[in-house]
Chain A
């Protein structure tokens, strides 16, 4: 082995490095940092990235939970057991106001984060406050709808369809309510602790959560209310 001519081995290594088909297959990764890939010597991601990405994974799993409720609703939609159908219980004007409130709250939530990145405490709080009020309007309208329906005898135990309806819409409403509690906590933390790293990380997560809830609501109002009204 030792009498192998060294330059030939070196030649082979150089040839392998120059081969475009083998580029990027170096087991030890590229020597230089490659922009945006996390490869190279740029080191582990900062906590801001890791926290945001981890929360993104959680949100996707939460959306998968919602998809189970959607599937249950779709399967049970016809099982009305002689009770009210979806067409009987849909109130489109209320749904339109709920949709507008939640969409605007998503907008103001984004503006609050823009204010956070400009390190403006006042506008951060103002927009978070508007977000909270719009969220309250949404939850209030949904509660009003549930109370009205229950008054007409359309309770969850009336039929499999109504169970699916209350489970899906109620699960979303519960998320918005919990999000509202989180929002109040964040306003207090911004006020008392200021824009510390961990507070900003929590604001990123809260923004993600609130925008994701609006995305789920797009599915709810389309599949439950609009398709129900059109059916």
Chain B
């Protein structure tokens, strides 16, 4: 029944197709169990690292947010590679390009908002002074 489409697809029977994100390339079940265990292991280690960075006082205090961000980005990478099966292969070009565009938009939105609002707060007259002027 459903074997036909997937088997043709997964063995590359009909041409050489792209790889859908989240789909699994054709491998044995054992391969995927090992893959997910490895991903879980890396993710757990990175999570523990970031909780450790936040709670212990081993890291110089102003650098703690940087450490947390680094661990978070590393963990997102682990999730993309081991859970979503995003690779650098040619069958993944479209997925990676879409992801890169998404990351660009996210970066522009977050840094742009923080940057602009920081300067607006900086330049805004304190509220009590403004109330004085309105009298």
Contacts and interface: CB of A to CB of B under 8 A. Distances in A.
Interface of A: 33-38, 40-43, 45-49, 51-53, 55-57, 60-61, 63-64, 67-68, 70-72, 74-75, 92, 96, 99-100, 103-104, 106-107, 110-111, 113-115, 117-119, 194-197, 199-200, 204-205, 207-208, 211-212, 214-215, 218-219, 222-223, 226-227, 229-230
B17 A46 contact: yes
Contacts of A40: 15
Interface of B: 1-3, 5-6, 8-9, 14-24, 29, 32-33, 35-37, 39-40, 43-44, 47, 50-51, 53-55, 61, 64-65, 68-69, 71-72, 75-76, 79-80, 83-84, 89-91, 93-95, 98-99, 101-102, 105-106, 109-110, 112-114, 117
Given A60-B99, A215-B79, 7 more contacts: A42-B14, A74-B114, A92-B54, A92-B55, A103-B47, A197-B2, A219-B76
A37 B93 contact: yes
A15 to B, nearest CB: 29
Interface SS majority for chain B: helix
- Nearest 4 CB-CB pairs, A to B? A42-B15, A52-B20, A60-B102, A36-B90
A56 B20 contact: yes
